[in-house]
Structure 1
Amino acid sequence: MPLELSPMQGYFVVELAKSGALFLVIGGKAMQTFELDRPTDDLDLWISRDDHTTDRVYAALQKFCGAPAEFRERLRAPNVRVPIPTEANPEIDILTSIDGMEFENVNRAARDVVWKTIVLRVPSSDDLIRCKQIAIASTEARIASGEWNPAGVEEARRGITRDERDIELLRQRRD
C-alpha cells in the first residue's frame, strides 16, 4: 500500500517540507511506506522542537488554520499534541515529543520517502516499533488512571490492539 495523503495532509507536508522544517511521518502513514497494508485516515507528524522548525510549523499552521500566537510556544514544549483541524476530528496530529526517544537520534536513523516530488522522512522500523511500544505503555497508564469513560477505554483498547498488530507487521517485515 503506497503512502496516501488527503489533499489537506498533502498541502500541509508540502508547506513544511518547502520551509525546511524538521519532521518525521510516524503512525499508520509511516507503516504504509514499508509497503504494509495499514489503512488510516490521520497523518501523525513528530516535529523537532528547535526554533527554526517550530517557527516554520507555526507559520504553516497560521496559513493553514489561523493558529493563534500561543501555538508557537506550545510547539516548543514537550509532550504536546496539536490536532488539526479539531480534537474531535483530527486529520493531522502534530507531536512535539515521544517519551524516551530523542528526535535527533530517530531522524538520523530515518529514511527518505518520496511522496509525489516531496522528500519525507520516516523512522526506521526499529524506531517505529519503539514508538508503538511507548504508545501502548502510555495508553495503558491512562486507562489505569481512570481518566477515560467506558467508551474512551474501549476506544483506547482498540488502539492498543492496532499498535500490537502494527508491531507484529513491522517485525515480520524486518525479518
Structure 2
Amino acid sequence: MLNSDYKEMLQILLEEDVKFIVVGAYALAVHGYPRATGDLDIWIKPDSQNASKVLCCLKRFGAPLYSLTEKDLMENETVFQIGVIPRRIDIITSITGVEFDEAYDDCIKVQIDGMEIPVLSLEKLIKNKEATGREKDALDAKLLRKKYNPQ
C-alpha cells in the first residue's frame, strides 16, 4: 500500500500517459525483497514529449518547481526531489547500467492500490544493482540472483 503522496503522483503520471518506471527499493520489494525506504524512485523517459507531460504532472501535484525546465527532464542524471524522507518522491532521468527504452519494453505491470504501475523487471533490476558500484546494491543483486537462480 502506498502513502497518499505516492499514490497521487503515480495516478497523475498514469492519467497524463507519462512513460515511467518505478525503480529502487519499491522495485526491490515487488521482486520479493522489501526494504525500509524513505522515498519512491520514479524513472522517466528523458525525451521532449515525455518531459512536457512530466512538467505538467508536477504542476498538477503542486510540486515546487523552482527553476526546473523541460530541458532538465531530458538530460541524463537529473534527479528532482519532492518532499522529505519518509515521503520523498525522486523523479530521475537515468539509472546506471540500463537504457530506458529497453527497460520500458521489459518492465512488469503491478496492481497497486487499484493502479497498474510499471516496475523495473527482475533482469533489469539486477543489471542496475550490479552496475552502480555500491556495496548495498551488489548485495541486493546477489540476493535477487540467489532467490531466482538457487543452484
> Same fold, TM exceeding 0.5?
yes
Please name the residue that 1:18 is paired with: 15
Distance 1:68 1:36 in 2: 35
Q: Percent identity?
A: 26
**Equivalent position SS for 2:69:** helix
Q: CA deviation at 1:49?
A: 1.3
Alignment RMSD, CA only?
2.0
Please name the residue that 2:142 is paired with: 168
Deviations along 1:114-159, one digit per CA (max 9) or x if unpaired, are 11121111122121012112222xxxxxxxxxxxxxxxxxxxxxxx
Say whether residues 1:62 and 2:59 are aligned partners. Answer: yes
1:26 touches 1:46 (CA, 8 Å); kept in 2?
Answer: yes
2:47 touches 2:73 (CA, 8 Å); kept in 1?
Answer: no
Distance 2:104 2:147 in 1: 20
Say whether residues 1:77 and 2:51 are aligned partners. Answer: no
Distance 2:86 2:79 in 1: 13
Structure 1: give runs of 5+ residues left out of the alignment.
Answer: 137-159
Length, aligned pairs only? 148
Q: Pick the structure with greater CA Rg.
A: 1
The alignment's TM-score, normalised by the length of structure 2, stands at: 0.86
The alignment's TM-score, normalised by the length of structure 1, stands at: 0.76
1:25 touches 1:121 (CA, 8 Å); kept in 2?
Answer: yes
2:64 touches 2:82 (CA, 8 Å); kept in 1?
Answer: no
Say whether residues 1:122 and 2:110 are aligned partners. Answer: no
Q: Which has the higher helix share?
A: 1
Deviations along 1:92-132, one digit per CA (max 9) or x if unpaired, are 11111124421001111111111112111112212101211
Please name the residue that 1:48 is paired with: 45
Structure 2: give runs of 5+ residues left out of the alignment.
Answer: none
Amino acid at match of 1:91: R
Please name the residue that 1:94 is paired with: 91
Runs of 4+ in 1 over 4 A off after TM superposition: none
Please name the residue that 1:34 is paired with: 31
Q: 1:131 aligns with which of 122, 128, 132?
A: 128
